[in-house]
C-alpha cells in the first residue's frame, strides 16, 4: 500500500462521516421540496435551489462511495433542467428516489460532531533537505554530486536518528538503501513515520528479485530503484519527488469535505497545498501565492468557475498557471466553453482523487514514465563498516 493510499484511507472515515452529517441536513431540504410540490407552492427559486443541490450530490456521491446518490441526483437535475415544472409528480418521485439513496449513507456512517471549518492553512515552502538512510557509500556520493549545490543532504545509518530527522527536520524526501538483512525491517519502520509526516519515500532495493521490489512498494515506497543503480533513474526519482514539494497546488472547491479529501491526497503525494472555498479566494490566492497549478470546481459561490477561469487568464500574474476544471456538467458545449476559457483539462464528476493527482503530475511534467532512460550506468555496491553515523554532506 502506497503512502498516498494510506493517507487517503486514514482521512476517509472522518470525511465520510461529515458527508453523512451534511446529508441529514440536505434531506430536510429534499423533504421541503416535496412538500412544495404536493401543496402546489413550487416556485422558480425553489427549482433553482433544488437543481443546485442535486448537482452537488450528483458530483459527490460516487466520490465518497455512494454511487446511488450520484445516479438519483443526476436524474433529478436532468428533470429540472428539462423544465417540466408543470409535472410536480415527476419531481416528487425523483426526489423520493434521491432520499432513499441518501438513507443508507446516513445510516452507515458513524455521525460525530466535527468542525466544518473552511480554512486550509498554507504550507510554508522551506529550503529542501534530503535524508538518506544508507550504509552504501556509493549511494551517498551520488546524491551529494547530484543535489548538494541546491539542497542540504543528511546521511545516517542509524534508524532511530533517521526517525528523529523525519519527525523534526521536515525532509523533502527520504531515500532508503540498506543491506539485505536490514532492508525490510528498516523500510517498514521508516514508512510508518513517513506516512505520519507526509514525507515521500524512495527505496533502493538490494536485488532484482520481483518479490523484493513488490515488497518494497507495498511497504510504502513512492518510488523504487533497483540495483545495480542507474544514475539517471535515481536522479529522476529523487528529482521529481523533491520538485513536488517545491510545487504548490491550489484546490478550489466550496464543498469543504471534497476539498479536504483532495488536499490530503495532494499532501500525501508530496505537494504543498492551499485551499479556497469561493471565487474571490481563488483570485486572491492565485495572484499572491502563484501556485504551480489550480484545481478549480466549476460551480462556486459568488463567481462561477468559468468566469473565475477567464479572470485568471486575463491577469498577467496568473494567466500562465494551468487550470484543471472539475464539474458534473458533462455536455459537449459545456466542456468546450471551459476549454475556450483556458482550462488545461476538464474532469467530469464524480472522480477518483488519484485521477486528479495524476492529471496534475502529468501536466507539470513530473511523471517518471514520461522520461525515458537514454543511458544506464551500473555502479558497484560499496558498504561502510563500523558504527552507525549521522552526517551532513
pLDDT in tens, 140-184: 887 887 787 778 889 999 999 999 999 888 888 899 988 777 788
Q: Which of 352, 326, 299 is nearest to 53 (CA)?
A: 299
CATH of domain 248-365: 3.40.50.2300
Is the entire prediction scored with pTM above 0.75?
Answer: no
Given the candidates 1.10.3210, 1.10.760, 1.25.10, 1.20.120, the CATH classification of the domain at 3-108 is 1.20.120
Write out pLDDT tens, residues 249-262: 999 998 888 888 88
Q: Which of 333, 341, 282 is nearest to 310 (CA)?
A: 341
- More confident call, 87 vs 363: 363
Q: What is residue 291's predicted lDDT score, i.e. its pLDDT?
A: 92
| Backbone CA torsion sign across 64, 67, 68, 69 | positive
| Residue 275, beta-bridge partner list | 251
Contact criterion met (CB below 8 Å) for 268 and 4: yes
Q: What is residue 114's predicted lDDT score, i.e. its pLDDT?
A: 38
Architecture in CATH of 129-244+371-383: 3-Layer(aba) Sandwich (3.40)
Ranking 192-196, 206-210, 299-303 by mean pLDDT, the lowest is 206-210
Mean pLDDT of the chain: 77
Cell numbers standing for residue 65: 462511495
Q: What is residue 98's predicted lDDT score, i.e. its pLDDT?
A: 93
Q: Which of 249, 239, 256 is nearest to 357 (CA)?
A: 249
- More confident call, 34 vs 247: 34
Rounded to the nearest 5°, which phi and psi values hold at 310?
-65, -40
Q: What is residue 116's predicted lDDT score, i.e. its pLDDT?
A: 39
Q: How confident is the model over 308-332, as a mean pLDDT?
A: 91
Looking at the chain, the whole-number percentage of residues with pLDDT higher than 70 is 78
Contact criterion met (CB below 8 Å) for 384 and 135: yes
Angle at 386 between CA 382 and CA 392, to 5 degrees: 75
Domain(s) of CATH 3.40.50.2300: residues in the chain: 129-244+371-383, 248-365
Contact criterion met (CB below 8 Å) for 184 and 215: yes
Write out pLDDT tens, residues 2-46: 444 454 555 567 777 878 888 888 998 999 999 988 888 888 888
Write out pLDDT tens, residues 62-84: 777 788 998 898 889 888 888 75
| Residue 129, beta-bridge partner list | 152
Rounded distance, CA 132 to CA 157, Å?
Answer: 8
Q: Which of 254, 241, 248 is nearest to 289 (CA)?
A: 248
Rounded distance, CA 97 to CA 59, Å?
Answer: 17
- More confident call, 208 vs 61: 61
Amino acid at each position: 500500500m502506497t503512502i498516498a493510499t494510506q493517507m487517503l484511507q486514514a482521512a476517509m472515515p472522518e470525511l465520510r462521516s461529515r458527508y453523512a452529517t451534511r446529508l441529514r441536513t440536505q434531506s430536510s431540504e429534499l423533504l421541503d421540496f416535496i412538500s412544495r410540490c404536493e401543496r402546489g407552492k413550487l416556485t422558480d427559486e425553489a427549482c433553482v435551489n433544488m437543481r443546485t443541490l442535486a448537482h452537488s450530490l450528483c458530483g459527490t456521491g460516487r466520490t465518497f462511495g455512494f454511487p446511488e446518490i450520484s445516479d438519483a441526483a443526476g436524474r433529478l437535475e436532468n428533470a429540472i433542467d428539462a423544465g417540466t415544472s408543470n409535472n410536480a409528480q415527476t419531481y416528487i418521485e425523483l426526489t423520493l428516489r434521491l432520499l432513499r439513496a441518501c438513507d443508507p449513507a446516513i445510516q452507515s456512517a458513524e455521525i460525530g460532531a466535527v468542525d466544518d471549518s473552511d480554512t486550509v492553512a498554507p504550507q510554508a515552502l522551506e529550503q529542501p533537505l534530503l535524508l538518506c538512510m544508507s550504509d552504501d557509500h556509493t549511494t551517498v556520493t551520488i546524491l551529494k554530486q547530484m543535489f548538494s549545490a541546491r539542497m542540504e543532504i543528511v546521511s545516517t545509518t542509524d534508524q532511530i536518528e533517521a526517525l528523529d530527522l523525519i519527525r523534526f527536520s521536515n525532509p523533502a524526501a527520504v531515500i532508503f538503501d540498506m543491506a539485505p538483512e536490514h532492508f525490510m525491517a528498516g523500510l517498514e519502520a521508516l514508512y510508518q513515520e513517513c506516512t505520519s509526516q507526509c514525507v515521500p519515500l524512495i527505496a533502493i532495493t538490494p536485488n532484482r528479485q520481483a518479490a523484493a521490489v513488490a515488497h518494497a512498494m507495498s511497504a510504502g515506497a513512492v518510488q523504487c530503484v533497483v540495483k545495480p543503480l542507474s544514475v539517471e533513474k535515481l536522479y529522476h526519482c529523487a528529482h521529481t519527488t523533491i520538485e513536488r514539494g517545491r510545487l504548490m497546488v491550489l484546490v478550489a472547491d466550496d464543498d469543504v469535505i471534497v476539498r479536504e479529501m483532495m488536499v490530503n491526497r495532494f499532501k500525501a503525494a508530496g505537494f504543498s497545498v492551499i485551499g479556497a472555498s469561493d471565487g474571490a479566494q481563488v483570485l486572491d490566492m492565485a495572484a499572491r501565492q502563484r501556485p504551480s497549478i489550480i484545481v478549480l470546481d466549476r460551480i462556486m459561490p459568488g463567481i462561477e468557475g468559468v468566469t473565475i477561469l477567464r479572470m485568471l487568464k486575463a491577469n498577467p500574474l496568473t494567466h500562465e498557471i494551468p487550470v484543471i476544471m472539475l464539474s458534473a456538467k458533462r455536455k459537449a458545449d459545456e466542456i468546450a466553453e471551459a476549454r475556450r476559457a483556458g482550462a488545461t483539462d476538464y474532469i467530469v464528476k464524480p472522480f477518483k482523487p488519484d485521477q486528479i493527482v495524476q492529471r496534475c503530475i502529468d501536466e507539470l511534467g513530473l511523471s517518471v514514465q514520461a522520461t525515458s532512460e537514454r543511458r544506464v550506468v551500473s555502479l558497484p555496491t560499496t558498504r561502510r563498516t563500523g558504527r552507525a553515523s549521522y552526517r551532513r554532506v
